[in-house]
Amino acid sequence: MTESAPVDPTTTEGWKTLAGIADGFSPDLRGWFDSDPGRAEQYTFQAGDLTVDLSKGLVTEEILAALLQVAEATGVAERYQAMISGEHVNPTEDRAVLHTALRRPKGGELTPAAPFVVDGQDVDADVHATLDKVYAFAEQVRSGAWKGVTGKRIETVVNIGIGGSDLGPVMVYEALKPYVQAGIEARFVSNIDPADIYEKTADLDPETTLFIVASKTFGTLETLTNARLARQWLWEKLGLTDAADDAKNDAVAKHFVAVSTALDKVAAFGIDPENAFGFWDWVGGRYSVDSAIGTSVIIAIGKENWQDFLAGFHTIDEHMRTTPLAQNVPVLMGLLNVWYSNFLGAQSHAVLPYTQYLHRFAAYLQQLTMESNGKRVRWDGSPVTTDTGEVFWGEPGTNGQHAFYQLIHQGTRLIPADFIAVANPARPLKDETGDGKAVEPGQDVHNLFLANFFAQTKALAFGKTADEVRAEGTTDEAIVAARTFTGNKPSTSILAPALTPSVVGQLIALYEHIVFTEGTIWGIDSFDQWGVELGKQLALQIAPAVDGDADALASQDSSTKALIAKYLELRK
């Protein structure tokens, strides 16, 4: 099944209107708020538990109407329906894209209706069969029924993966640490740098450690290299280096499981294929955290919390499916990103969670957004007609305030920013002493924290005029200029009740569908990632040269040859 040619967004009436507005565009958030007392209410929307305030964005009714025209003309709603129905919206790999099926609940009134069969596969049945298998295994580990080779219960789970097989699980584990069962810890190894596997295992007890090797094909170079190093570590620490193969294999079978569909390779490694949990070609790595790739997190937080996590995803999936475009939060956020990047020159996008538990969220979004929409051709192979993709980056507040906020506030680049906060912290504390100045004794620290969240978006939007600086007593005009903030820096505020499993799922799904919206408008295949392949291929070709093969070294370009030669000279 082949997708029809994408609509060129630049030919739509909405795009032409936006181009006209952008010509000489001079935003005035102060003026817009002053003239419209209902602006905040007009541009604040609800998606599940997420309250999303777009009012401090550079948007007017005219701009929003034109953006919605672009969404309608490029078929955002229709293509989303095609995606969730199992059509092959990943044409370069001729695949369906069904990460939304990973969180469809059992039974009930579903769209598409259950049973959901795609390419001859009963998707719902397969997804829930795998989930049930993972739940049963996780419960064995959590209860202590699963024991290591010496009869001790598992205390540490080490997930070995890379890309989506690492970024998703580690982000969610960190986000949901308050829900982790006492006595169980998860660690994550991804980098082929030997320092990673060394540091993650250096203080572990092999008798109480379980490794999860996450690789769909069981052939990812980094993952399998680290898996072999972990196996060596296990044998060495258990005193099995020179033991018989049966003893070694028994240890591996008790201390290794896999997330993979390549059962022959899993078995060859020494893992019992019964302890391999699969997922499907229609799940891209960066969309896979809610599949068996999340096994390490399921062990840590348990079945019920994981089900809440999946329900959060499904809530936003349904919001995306059923909500008109004009109130559809992921669509609106995606449209604003298009406005900022294609018309106002923004090249990057900051994501700033005011909750420490989301400290890996920006890193997770980097893969989701940039691997998805970092494309130069459309899904029919023709060149794109617009700039595509944004550089996503960020750190938790208030850390970022003392690092890069200066650039966002007073730099010359337009950097839209998403601020994320929760009303109820998992670990509330009071500063009983205070500082005798701004912080009173008994200060609720979360209130102080969130005051920064509210203040930063206000400062970005409204800035500080030269007259306001002068009114504070500054008379040196050079200092006045330095202390003036232009404002009109766009931000989106996302506020949730608490960082529950459901809310984390909602946040992930929100950004998945923002990516989808942008990709559809740009006419690109957001679900392949051919751009990651070339470097991998060249690394395999270069490896012999790095190992000292003179002929392989001689075949390299002059720069690469000189760098390798210098490396070999320096290597002791």
Q: How many CB atoms lie within 10 A of CB 106?
A: 12
Q: In angstroms, how far apart are the furthest CA atoms of the chain?
A: 83
Q: Which two tokens stand for residue 531?
A: 């751009």
For helices 221-237 and 245-255, angle between their N-to-C axes, nearest 10 degrees? 120
Active site residue 371: yes
Select from 483, 503, 545, 480 the least CA-distant residue to 52: 503
Selecting among 106, 458, 536, 566, the annotated active-site residue is 536
Active site residue 402: yes
Question: Exposed (0-12), middle (13-18) or buried (19+): which is 203, by Cβ within 10 Å?
Answer: exposed
Whether the bond between 115 and the residue before it is cis, its omega within 30 degrees of 0, is yes
Q: Which two tokens stand for residue 163?
A: 């890309």
Tell me the β-bridge partners of 214: 259
Selecting among 106, 402, 458, 566, the annotated active-site residue is 402
Question: Exposed (0-12), middle (13-18) or buried (19+): which is 480, by Cβ within 10 Å?
Answer: middle
Tell me the β-bridge partners of 47: 50
Select from 341, 239, 252, 331 the least CA-distant residue to 45: 331
d(C-alpha 330, C-alpha 527), whole Å: 17
Active site residue 536: yes
Q: Which two tokens stand for residue 435?
A: 């500082």
Q: Which two tokens stand for residue 289?
A: 């955290």
In this structure, what are the phi and psi dihedrals at residue 51, rounded to the nearest 5 degrees? -95, 120
396-399: long-range pairs with CB below 8 Å, 24+: 396/352, 396/353, 396/354, 396/355, 396/356, 396/358, 396/359, 397/352, 397/353, 397/354, 397/449, 397/452, 397/453, 397/456, 398/354, 398/449, 398/452
Q: How many CB atoms lie within 10 A of CB 161?
A: 29
DSSP state of 180: S
Taken in order 29, 30, 31, 35, is the CA torsion positive or negative?
positive
Selecting among 371, 390, 395, 518, the annotated active-site residue is 371
**At 196, which helix (H) or strand (E)?**
helix 194-201
DSSP state of 346: -
d(C-alpha 217, C-alpha 402), whole Å: 43
Could you give the residue numbers annotated as active site? 371, 402, 536
